[in-house]
């Protein structure tokens, strides 16, 4: 199954995990148990990297219950990335038993829901064949660490965004200091089934380099689907819930087609070329594809002042720069007080939050009037407020 097809299964599982236990079980009844188990255990294996665990390789036996019988899988953690495969050990150090419906809901269900009622975790208290430590003590310690690591990976416990940025080497903390702002605006959404598109994968032309921020977002939004757009082919970085797309952010036709295929979107992050013309084109094209309540983020606004990056114009309000364009969005935010017909963007931008180097633009319905209609706009308030009788009743 290709990445798009597998992600389609994962998206269906995310939806199924939102329902009651019976509703989840009904959806799973229509799917191949092995495909579902591989998807869920693959997610657990990917999350294992977030938690401290075994330092030496430990293979954990998973015994997954389905309506058609029990399925056996081996998840190995320790040095290097965790891996999952079909198989059974005769005497494993760690045995995890859980029904597939319960396992799915534990991994992909909403935070705070009571899950794990069928979970059994067993760590051997005697030496199985092949033990290498003195009296098996070190082997058992590593097994306990592996069991703890994987049971943590099964839970909905959130992981700090700064820690995720450092763990995956994203420059959003350390190179820049954006993660506190992201936490402020994304925190309430992290348990939602968001669709996020980030422009700019990183690593330039190297096909298997970059994607640090995509990994960070995948694990921050544990129930989200994350897409990365880059001018270079980054498909080597694809994995469940994290797909890359090759294309140019300066091409409105391509962006429209992409957004229609993967959208509607909840979050767009522009960490792409940082050229003002590209930033403006992407915003104008993709902002309409955000859901109401969505967020559009533009990073590295400092390039708006750099001549070599299509910025650095003579006038600071030049609308051809990223910052200058955002100033027009601020004007549009107050379209109720301005003459002329408001644009679609004017009608749907409800807030703008600006920080050094980064902007967050919120989407919604902008129909608020900042001040009552009876207040005179064309007269100095010191004049008419000093003598209210100068106004007629209609004017008041």
**Residues assigned a catalytic role:** 274
d(CA 16, CA 26): 9
Query: Is residue 103 within 8 Å of residue 33, measured between CB atoms?
Result: no
Radius of gyration of the chain (CA): 26
With CA atoms as reference, report the closest residue to 192 among 155, 146, 225: 225
Three-class secondary structure of residue 65 per DSSP: strand
With CA atoms as reference, report the closest residue to 89 among 45, 59, 64: 59
Sign (positive or negative) of CA dihedral 383, 389, 390, 392: positive
Neighbouring residues of 112: CB distance < 8 A, sequence distance ≥ 6: 156
E runs forming strands in the chain: 58-66, 69-77, 83-86, 94-99, 120-123, 195-199, 225-230, 242-246, 265-270, 290-299, 349-355, 358-363
DSSP string for 144-173: HHHHHHHHHHTS-----HHHHHHHTT-TTB
Three-class secondary structure of residue 8 per DSSP: helix
Three-class secondary structure of residue 61 per DSSP: strand
Using alpha carbons, list the distances in angstroms from residue 79 to 48, 165, 309: 12, 21, 42
**Residue 30 in tokens:** 């229509």
């Amino acid at each position: 199954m290709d990445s798009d097809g597998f992600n389609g299964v994962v998206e269906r599982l995310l939806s199924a995990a939102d329902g009651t236990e019976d509703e989840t079980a009904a959806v799973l009844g229509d799917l191949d148990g092995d495909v579902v188990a591989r998807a869920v255990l693959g997610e657990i294996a990917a999350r294992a990297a977030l938690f401290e665990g075994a330092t030496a390789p430990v293979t954990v036996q998973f015994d997954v219950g389905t309506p058609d019988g029990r399925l056996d899988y081996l998840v190995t953690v320790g040095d290097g990335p965790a891996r999952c495969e079909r198989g059974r050990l005769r005497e494993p150090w760690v045995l995890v038993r859980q029904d597939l419906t319960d396992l799915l809901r534990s991994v992909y269900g909403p935070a705070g829901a009571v899950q794990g009622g069928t979970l059994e975790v067993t760590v051997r208290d005697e030496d199985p064949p092949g033990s290498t430590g003195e009296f098996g003590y070190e082997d058992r310690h590593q097994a306990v660490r592996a069991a703890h690591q994987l049971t943590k990976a099964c839970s909905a416990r959130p992981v700090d965004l700064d820690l995720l940025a450092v763990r995956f080497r994203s420059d959003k903390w350390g190179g820049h200091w954006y993660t506190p702002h992201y936490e402020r605006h994304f925190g309430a959404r992290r348990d939602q089934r968001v669709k996020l598109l980030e422009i700019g994968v990183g690593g330039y032309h190297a096909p298997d380099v970059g994607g640090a921020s995509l990994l960070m977002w995948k694990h921050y939004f544990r129930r989200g689907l994350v897409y990365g757009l880059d001018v270079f082919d980054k498909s080597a970085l694809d994995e469940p819930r994290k797909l890359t797309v090759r294309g140019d952010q300066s091409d409105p036709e391509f962006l429209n087609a992409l957004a229609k295929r993967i959208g509607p979107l909840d979050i767009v992050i522009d960490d792409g070329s940082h050229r003002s013309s590209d930033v403006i084109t992407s915003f104008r094209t993709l902002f309409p594809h955000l859901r109401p309540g969505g967020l559009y983020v533009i990073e590295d606004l400092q390039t708006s002042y750099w001549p070599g990056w299509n910025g650095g114009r003579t006038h600071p309000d030049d609308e051809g720069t990223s910052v200058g364009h955002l100033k027009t969005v601020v004007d549009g935010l107050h379209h109720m007080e301005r003459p002329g017909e408001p644009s679609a963007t004017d009608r749907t931008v409800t807030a703008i939050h600006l920080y050094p180097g980064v902007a967050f633009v919120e989407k919604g319905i902008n129909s608020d009037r900042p001040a009552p209609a009876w207040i005179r706009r064309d007269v100095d308030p010191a004049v008419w407020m000093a003598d209210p009788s100068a106004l007629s009743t209609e004017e008041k």
